[in-house]
Structure 1
Amino acid sequence: MSWLEQPHSRRKALSAASGLVVGAALPGTAAAQAAAHTSARNSSAAASYTNPVLWQDFADIDIIRVGNAYYYSASTMHYSPGAPILRSYDLVNWEFAGHSVPVLDFGSKYDLNGAHGYVRGIWASSLAYRPSNRTFYWLGQIDFARTYIYTATAVEGPWNRLTTIGTAYYDAGLLVDTDDTLYVAYGNTTISVAQLSADGRTQVRAQQVFSTPSSVGTLEGSRFYRINGNHYIFLTRPANGQYILKSTSGPFGPYTMRQVLLDLRGPVAGGGVPHQGGLVQTPGGAWYYLAFVDAYPGGRIPVLAPVTWTSDGWPVVQLVDGAWGASYPSPVVPAPPRQVTPMTGVDTFDGTALKPKWEWNHNPDNSRWTVGNGLTLRTATVTDDLYWARNTLTHRIQGPTSTATIQLDHSTMRDGDRAGLALLRDSSAWIGVRRDGGATRVVMVNGLTMDSSWNTTGTGTEMASANVSGGRVWLRANADIRPGAARPGTFSYSTDGTNFVRLGPVFTMGNSWQFFMGYRFALFDYATQALGGSVRVERFELSAP
């Protein structure tokens, strides 16, 4: 993902090479590769999957397989913890497994301490597994300044920082080569390869290996592979194309280039061209390409397609009627050990830690929240601006439409406190509870806005309110994130958890791409006068039709 990323409609459809190809190769002959795909199709004729395989915002995909499990890493920008890892056993059904970056300890701006890190932080990064030491590696550059590597022996963690490297490996792809050497492909337009030391802590060598032709424009988002003795660097042309570099002479090239796809019709109505992402092989030998589609206001969502291979080692995306298919036969994989945890459902915040589906807006103040018997949020910031309020906890929206409902105990709020449920992005709205002069009201607020530098331009306007009594209220937000549609967000409340009353006008969610991250449901509690108050979220439910 890149700050240079442009909507696909704004990029010219320029092609440097003909043919629709993808950059990896199956072991064995082209005939064997085709046979593997034919077998997969025949044995799964009664089963198919639909795209997107997951309608949530998980962009800048890196995907790997370890044994019979697939792991999927994504960007999170200013959300903490960063770099979530999803797990699947069939490439279609995914669950949260953990985060590679436990805290964004890259400067005070990630703590909302005098500055903010909106649209900084975790950009396109890489996840790899090293069999020799049975260790997972995450690698990513921060703030164009330096590169960080974290490691863990299980994706659930704990993850620890291994090293910091002075070179900023932009949009990097990490390769554990067949001889156990670590290489990194990186760059924007000018693509380079670095070799790391055996312990992964330092750079041994770096060399430019490719310069993108001007007729193609920008290439970035490297994914690095060694397959059948060849090295491949899989590159995106944001946000409407995909290219592949191939070397038969080692990781430092020379490389030849082919076009993967350009302005290919995608499977999501109103969405963009499938691009970026990565390639992965099933235990049975079939290969797949997991890309993402720009689908704002919801963000960038994953779509999956099979690939086959040419006789000279260039794979081909399998299309349906000239487009990325809306459905394909399900991958043929070993029986999963269990069902994955659903992406929707109820969370009562039991246990001693937040589940990995949750991410804070910037780093939290860990002294101001607890879980167990609900989520307790104690006010952490005195402000009138939600964008500067610490300890705002976010959850991705499930598309194409979904509803979040919280049960909120507001009995320990103090005068001046604001707490509730938001649709959070650079243009936001919320429903929540205001405590003023000892009186409690439930309110709907919109008009929270940011400029192009992510500075606040509007702190919100109260559009509707109602008096509430007692110490508990249910708040609900519904979001329709279908791209190219009306993009409505609506809010309602209940005093009994059963009968809900609409509050305020329809909020139209923005669909600009520049903020990159999609809308999220957000739980918040901040003070406008003084710290000391708190709320307890007793229950969160995400439901989809």
Structure 2
Amino acid sequence: MQMSWTHHVLSRRRALTAATGLAAGALLPPTAAPGTASAQGSALAPAAEYMNPVIWQDFADIDVIRVGGTFYASASTMHYSPGAPVLRSYDLVNWEIAGHSVPMLDFGAKYDLNGARGYVRGVWASSLAYRPSNGTFYWLGQIDFARSYVYTATAAEGPWSRLTTISTPYYDAGLLVDSDDTLYVAYGNTTISVAQLSPDGRSQVRAQQVFTTPSSVGTLEGSRFYRINGQYYIFLTRPANGQYILKSSSGPFGPYTMRQVLLDLRGPIPGGGVPHQGGLVQTQSGAWYYLAFVDAYPGGRVPALAPVVWTADGWPVVQLVDGAWGTSYPSPAVPPPPRPVTPMTGVDTFDGTALKPRWEWNHNPDHTRWSVNNGLTLRTATVTNDLYWARNTLTHRIQGPASTATVQLDHTAMRDGDRAGLALLRDSSAWIGLKRDGGVTRVVMVDGLTMDGNWNTTGTGVVRAGASAPSGRLWLRANADIRPGTGRLGTFSYSTDGTHFTRLGPAFSLGNDWRFFMGYRFALFNHATQALGGSVRVTRFELSVP
């Protein structure tokens, strides 16, 4: 199915004038195959190039849509809260985090770290859609294989609210708003089904199995549902090395025929996996793109973008460079953006009274024990010697291929038994921070925080190095090399003036097993081991790249 990049997208795109008057979110017909009459029409001028991955941060199970001149994407977040970030872009290359579709994981006490834990549960592959008839965004996903939830908002940044709960768990759901405004959901693992929702989107009115994956293919899941040029398509992934598509000319309930889109395709990240489980999206000029993710542990699953063309009989073809998903392509031809997007790196001084959408908590926080007011105050919320049980641990994705997080922290109000600092957080973790015991505060580097395959704690940490901590302010720094393969090291240092940093402890080897799914994150934490009442104040966080 792959074609050489010599059949360039420049000969594939329709003139921008063809989009004049195009309704918001409307789909133009697929562009024709190379060599056909329409493929030989007017070409756009050569454009600048973009590099893959377009976002080197952990955003997996991507769904991507366009509304007017704006692109939006959604991603999995598992046990992090708020969940299901909504990303926004004007060119498919430069992205910002606009908000979250799931404001709180109110799906049971385990998501509050209350008697149980929700690690590797929560928000899995889900779907984002826009309904022009009521000007509303829809998020749909299943939780804990028990039921499905629908959230809505009139703006991507929110506020988002729960519309309904549906008893059917739509596993790896793809939501389609059809041209007649009917809502359909494609879902399932190996056995693929389609459900029709009620006009108000609150309930299911019909469901039917539409496809059984041949044993020769194996597992198909990760549905994305489209109607393009009168045909219905269900875009499916074969984890973690293939992408397939089903096509029906007879309506959303089939019958469907299947073709392979890609299999064992070399990806754009050295040492990383095969691009898969993303979505198709069309620009205003009619060009098509596939936004997929690449397994790139320890950093997680990161988005990569490639152009797509269509065969004369209506099947998508990913455009390749030397037989692989390109590390670069000509940038999409789109109108100039109305403004620059907000960078995913840089400084946060926690100005204002709300966290910026780049931040997500490890499980739901206790909102009575943190505050933002030109600085972040973390009051101890849990008495535990286990960071994996500690509430109000605030996380930030790591920027690849390597980046550094630097935190300015005031520890004046810590109490005996408190532990606070900056972690590299995953199922094998390490941190630099402060231990206050017997009235003495020390800066320490700790590793050996581990979980087993059932996400139970097997190690609560071992102090590898320590030093006397000055009173008042301290700067903590963690560097993470998240390149797959031979990199994968984290190092820690501290400073008393914010300029001169002292390395503390040995290098930490970042785990690259995929089964935790989420990649490493930088994490700010403060928990008690004796009694509640202490606090720390973070006045500055900086995520920088070399």
Q: Separation in 2 of the partners of 1:513 and 1:493?
A: 31
State the partner residue of 1:491.
Answer: 492
Once the two structures are superposed, the pairs formed by residues 2-21 of structure 1 within 5 Å of their partners are 19-20=1-2
**Deviation per residue, 1:183-211 (Å, 9 max, x gap):** 00000000000000000000000000000
Give 1:486 shift: 2.7
Question: TM-score, normalised to structure 2's length?
Answer: 0.94
Q: 1:30 aligns with which of 32, 35, 42?
A: 32
Structure 1 letter corresponding to 2:69:
N
Query: Is residue 351–residue 371 contact of structure 1 (8 Å, CA) maintained in 2?
Result: yes
Give 1:373 shift: 2.0
State the partner residue of 2:18.
Answer: none
Once the two structures are superposed, the pairs formed by residues 62-141 of structure 1 within 5 Å of their partners are 62-141=63-142
**Deviation per residue, 1:290-312 (Å, 9 max, x gap):** 00100000000000000111110
State the partner residue of 2:483.
Answer: 482
Query: Is residue 30–residue 314 contact of structure 2 (8 Å, CA) maintained in 1?
Result: no
State the partner residue of 1:163.
Answer: 164
Question: TM-score, normalised to structure 1's length?
Answer: 0.94
2:209 matches 1:208 = yes
Structure 1 letter corresponding to 2:288:
W
State the partner residue of 1:417.
Answer: 418
CA separation of 1:179 and 1:504: change in aligned 2, threshold 3 A: same
Q: Which runs of 5+ in 2 are unaligned?
A: 4-26
Q: Separation in 1 of the partners of 2:118 and 2:56?
A: 26
State the partner residue of 2:523.
Answer: 522
Structure 1 letter corresponding to 2:317:
V
2:254 matches 1:246 = no
Give 1:44 shift: 3.1
**Deviation per residue, 1:204-223 (Å, 9 max, x gap):** 00000000000000000000
Runs of 4+ off more than 3 Å = 31-42
Structure 2 letter corresponding to 1:139:
L
State the partner residue of 2:459.
Answer: 458
Q: Separation in 2 of the partners of 1:257 and 1:530?
A: 60
State the partner residue of 2:444.
Answer: 443
Q: Separation in 1 of the partners of 2:163 and 2:39?
A: 39
Structure 2 letter corresponding to 1:43:
A
Give 1:32 shift: 9.7
2:346 matches 1:345 = yes
Give 1:20 shift: 3.7
Structure 2 letter corresponding to 1:30:
A
| Helix, strand or coil at the partner of 2:98 | strand
Once the two structures are superposed, the pairs formed by residues 40-79 of structure 1 within 5 Å of their partners are 42-45=44-47, 47-79=48-80
Q: Separation in 2 of the partners of 1:250 and 1:127?
A: 21
**Deviation per residue, 1:236-292 (Å, 9 max, x gap):** 000000000000000000000000000001111000001110000000000000001
2:299 matches 1:286 = no
Aligned length: 523
2:508 matches 1:507 = yes
State the partner residue of 1:335.
Answer: 336
Once the two structures are superposed, the pairs formed by residues 384-423 of structure 1 within 5 Å of their partners are 384-423=385-424
| Helix, strand or coil at the partner of 1:305 | strand
Q: Separation in 2 of the partners of 1:39 and 1:490?
A: 55
What percentage of residue pairs aligned between the two structures are identical? 82
| Helix, strand or coil at the partner of 2:307 | strand
| Helix, strand or coil at the partner of 1:207 | strand
Q: Which runs of 5+ in 1 are unaligned?
A: 1-18
| Helix, strand or coil at the partner of 2:388 | helix
Give 1:485 shift: 1.8
Q: Separation in 2 of the partners of 1:162 and 1:40?
A: 45
CA separation of 1:28 and 1:91: change in aligned 2, threshold 3 A: closer
Structure 2 letter corresponding to 1:186:
Y
Q: Separation in 1 of the partners of 2:192 and 2:107?
A: 26
Structure 2 letter corresponding to 1:255:
Y
Once the two structures are superposed, the pairs formed by residues 370-389 of structure 1 within 5 Å of their partners are 370-389=371-390
State the partner residue of 2:23.
Answer: none
Once the two structures are superposed, the pairs formed by residues 266-281 of structure 1 within 5 Å of their partners are 266-281=267-282
Q: Separation in 1 of the partners of 2:38 and 2:417?
A: 64
